[in-house]
Chain A
């Protein structure tokens, strides 16, 4: 957030019971508050009054149960993402979701903001890993859904509601997640293009016999940002496609050879280069971090003060990225899922991209800590019926409208 509230407005309960008490008191006194983890993803939605007290879950950071042979873990939601991965790595496991600012971002916060990255299409997002949770609703009532087993259809899947609810429905206190083994190896193949015609390559990749864990398309403006962040010296003329593979060394090597054979016939491709083992961790880190948090990292992102995330049909990605390029907006597109992150210089430019996305049956969320400049500009455009039901759900879980009021809708 661009404004940093003073520490006196930050409440850090040490356990679930304290979260219950704090929210119950706030409800009784009709005193709104902002539920957050590390506070890294608060640019989503309408800006909130910076003077509002913030309830941070960072004090809830214990591992509750880690039966690694069951491939599940139950943790308190305020544990940082880095601490979770460190715990899992001791058993050779990980949660394969790409979350930036892992040292401060909490697992519950990343889930509430539905943060994911390049591996999302092939390895899944929070929707695919959350098995159960506990949360405290807007009246200070603890509730739970799901469980600790990998399959469970007993009751409504309220976990799906919490993902992407941005702290407006409750404060998540505990969660059980599915986990996966850490692969032996990870490598990137970088594809460069002779011109702006990337669709034949992306279409060919749909039919590949290989199983890429990521296939990210970066436009020239994004490449410039990437080159600033890491010493990769990527040519900045046309788009590049970064295809990632993970697995055993044999699997990765075979797939990189195979995909090059498959793409050989695509005439628009200029070159295909296997990036080195040494470059790989840095590149993953750049791809994960660099399209987040525009509000407080203006120096890193140059003139781009506004971020966005768009969801499109995968086939619409090239057209959208071309359009964004013409407006000088950097974009990083997950080409398999059609999810795009990018930056804009101002609200007007972001709104234009939002309209463009909607024309192609997609959607775009503008991420900014600044309020829109005109009435036509808004962070998102909800379907009216969806909005009706979102309001009803909000009213049931937070009848006093004390949890981040006005963040998603008035």
Chain B
């Protein structure tokens, strides 16, 4: 690790106060990775600002010292989204967690980036509203992190991903300028820079406030569990439901490996011999949910579901969702380490990709379990391994590569909701290079870069020799010349 210049720490400490700054090697270990543990690197300093003004001062200081900086929310990314490649200053936004405004009449809230996702919903649920994007990590992940990665979640099948719910943002640009784009008053004229910023993974700047849409709670839910002999029949049922024009609120698949892990953890009563279970939730009007649920059950029966169960009580529904959302936590029972991939395929290609995952698991002798947003075609194969065994790590990386390449081959994408982070850089490069070759054109990805806040991440490019921070648009001609 490079030695951090004392004068950088001396410059940062007055901005946030010395209690909100970490630089001891042992303390920095917490920030060496996020949920993607395959790659690790410590930042040189972690700062915890409380206000936008402090973020501005930190950014300006980083510019002055010519050191890179990377924003971080709760660090729940599964793709190395906030890995401080090459060190530098990590700006942890978890102290900025205020709700500045809730306006139910106008349907929005203005929140700090470090606010935990579910805390917003908890604040408004009594009034009959919620914040719709619900990543499985919503009990820990932050709204700023969701904005950076354009997070999805189980209910985004019906309600859309983060960008569909962000109306405006305050951002600190790489030169320390504060910009306000969008806002609660509908769609202002001009280019949609809010839409462009969401999902830019901290590379355009740091989100310091977000104006988000609040959604009315549905009047009724029906939550069902389809139990299938094998994963192929389960994916066929999913295909039938979507093909019939039904858009459930959520359509989540868990395979046998996951079922066994969550059953051991939560004792829901999942059948341990089932090949897969599908958690299906329909919501909407009290008058229509029963008819929709009946239709879903019919479609599952047509493809040969073994058993359909319905969560009759709210307590049962909550437990079912707990099993699904905390499935990743339960994986600790299966192996010491795991790596989650995040591919997308057209929904009708789900049976094909799952067969491929099974074959890949056999080929590399790496156990792979699956829990994913089936309704979106968004797979999350979880590769189980022991990180102490370097040879296993290589097999995990190779198996993951093959799966994501297959997603591209099937007309899909290398990331549906986790972002590119560091994990997907090479795949992103393949994704865009394949596309460029096919089209003899240039990829949208490489076309414009607004800034280089986290220059080694997000872009399929080499780590620059020197960190440059600029708010100029720069063209990434290096990628073009690679073709």
Contacts and interface: CB of A to CB of B under 8 A. Distances in A.
Interface in A89-147: 92-93, 114, 124-125, 127-128, 134, 137, 141-147
Given A128-B164, A250-B287, A71 B242 contact: yes
A124 B160 CA distance: 10
A278 to B, nearest CB: 25
Interface in A133-190: 134, 137, 141-161, 163-165, 180-181
B442 A128 contact: no
A40 B247 CA distance: 34
A203 B152 CA distance: 30
Contacts of A141: 441-442
Contacts of B345: 149
A219 interface: no
Q: Among A68, A125, A147, find the residue whose CB has the most chain B CB atoms closer than 10 A.
A: A147
A315 B291 contact: no
B186 A152 contact: no
Interface in A41-72: 67-72
B348 A69 contact: yes
A376 to B, nearest CB: 17
Contacts of B149: 153
B349 to A, nearest CB: 9
A339 interface: yes
Given A151-B377, A315-B105, A363-B185, A157 B195 contact: yes
Nearest to A151: B416
Contacts of A150: 344, 347, 376-377
A383 B348 contact: no
A12 to B, nearest CB: 21
Contact of B195 (A127, A153, A383, A389): A127
A233 interface: no
B441 A143 contact: yes
Majority DSSP secondary structure for residues of B touching A? loop
A397 B183 CA distance: 26
Contacts of A316: 185
Contact of A134 (B284, B415, B439, B473): B439
Interface string B180-209: 110111111111111110111000000000
Given A389-B193, A395-B473, A153 B346 contact: no
A363 B432 CA distance: 38
Contacts of A362: 185-186
Given A158-B447, A206-B104, A311 B346 contact: no
B186 A339 contact: yes
B92 to A, nearest CB: 22
B344 A151 contact: yes
Given A69-B242, A157-B198, A390-B191, A124 B431 contact: no
Contacts of B181: 386
Interface string A364-399: 010000000000000011110111011011011100
Q: Using C-beta atoms within 8 Å of the partner chain, give the interface range for chain B.
A: 35 or more
A277 B473 CA distance: 54
B447 A397 contact: yes
Interface stretch (B5-13, B37-45, B55-63, B417-425): B417-425
Nearest to B459: A155
Nearest to B427: A154
Contacts of A408: 190
Q: Among B104, B185, B242, B413, find the residue whose CB has the most chain A CB atoms closer than 10 A.
A: B185
Contacts of B443: 143-145, 155
A361 interface: yes
A352 interface: no
| Top 4 A-B pairs, shortest CB-CB distance | A160-B195, A145-B444, A311-B186, A142-B441
Interface of A: 67-72, 92-93, 114, 124-125, 127-128, 134, 137, 141-161, 163-165, 180-181, 203, 206-207, 209-211, 247-248, 250-251, 254-255, 311-316, 336-339, 360-363, 365, 380-383, 385-387, 389-390, 392-393, 395-397, 408
